[in-house]
Amino acid sequence: MQSSAEEPQVRPEKRSLKKGAGLLISISILSMLCFLAVVVWINWEKPRVQTEPLSPEVRGLIERFPGKSDALIYLGLKDIRQSGFWKEIIPDSLKKAPVLITERKLDDLIRVSGINLSEDLDTLIISFRRKSYNRQDYLGIASGPFAEKLPESLLLKESSSSEPLNGHTCYELDNSVWICPIGHRRVALASNRELLEQFLSPKGSFFQRDSLASALIDKAEFKSHLWFALPSAAWTSGALQSLTSANKDMKAVGNLNRIQHLALSVKFTDGINAGTEWIYKTRRAAYFASTFIWGAVKLSGITGTRTSEQKKELLEKLKIEQNLESVIIHMNLPPEIFRKTPANK
């Protein structure tokens, strides 16, 4: 016997992704996708800009450098003096400022010889290597019109001793400064006689001996005006702390004390093009450092912060990216930014 009315069918309730367990599943999936995206980004090798090569002359000089280097610095002052930035933006007071901080005896020699480094120095390559906790050995090669201003008679008068090395006469100004003219337009400076001797009679190639410094030189984008290659973590930390000493907040941003190596280069045109690469021990450290720096830059640019409008404009020109173990920062500053400063009004 059939019932007079059919019983209503019970339909299963559809599970919504907007509430309850469905919401938790959605959040979990999105979190996993975000995590995977971050992992892929951290481990993805991004394309790099094409870097300038070393000139054959500079490469030939560096190749003769003995041992390894904790810090290698190049200054192409002759090319910088030809730039619009030097001619139009830099005030005369800075053009006449000392280019280098030198030892007392070397400073005395520069003064009595009438050498003006701002005008006479064309290029300088200098390498530093730590000898002890509080002492650095150095070897530098300076190029410029020095022959007429550094005659043998003056060098003999100002030095405590002289010694022939591989066809050149080298002079000891004091126990930490040796000078050796090499031809008419080049002078070698060193903290001791042995470094000069090893440079003048090289054994092997610096680029093969110091692969780390060589790799950092390759990472410097610009090679003709100013570049630094800092393989030593101590040098890197010291350089960055000096640059950020006026900004206490920046010392904590980017894990500056965890940077292992650094390359930096600057090219002066009508404005300034610059690039720097900070190399960390791990890709994760580089990723978090780049994120912190990017966040700090964006926060500084927010309306209402105490950051000046000029600094905000400078920060807008920064391009920051993480590439494997590196944080790479590019900056292209047009001349108009510098003309807005009080000194150039």
Distance CA(214)–CA(216), nearest Å, equals: 5
Among 32, 180, 13, 10, which Cα is nearest to 106's?
180
Return all residues near 243 (Cβ < 8 A) that are at least 6 apart: none
Tell me, what's the pLDDT at 314? 76
User: 180 with 168: CB under 8 angstroms?
Assistant: yes
Quick: pLDDT tens for 222-236: 999 999 999 988 777
Confidence of residue 344 (pLDDT cuts 50, 70, 90): very low
Question: Domain spans of the chain?
Answer: 49-204, 232-345
User: 171 with 179: CB under 8 angstroms?
Assistant: yes
Tell me, what's the pLDDT at 268? 95
User: 190 with 206: CB under 8 angstroms?
Assistant: no
Return all residues near 276 (Cβ < 8 A) that are at least 6 apart: 262, 263, 264, 265, 328, 329
Q: Which residues pair with 229 in a beta bridge?
A: 72, 263
Distance CA(209)–CA(203), nearest Å, equals: 10
Q: Determine the average pLDDT of the residues in 117-127.
A: 93
Quick: pLDDT tens for 177-193: 999 999 889 999 999 99
Tell me, what's the pLDDT at 3? 47
Return all residues near 211 (Cβ < 8 A) that are at least 6 apart: none
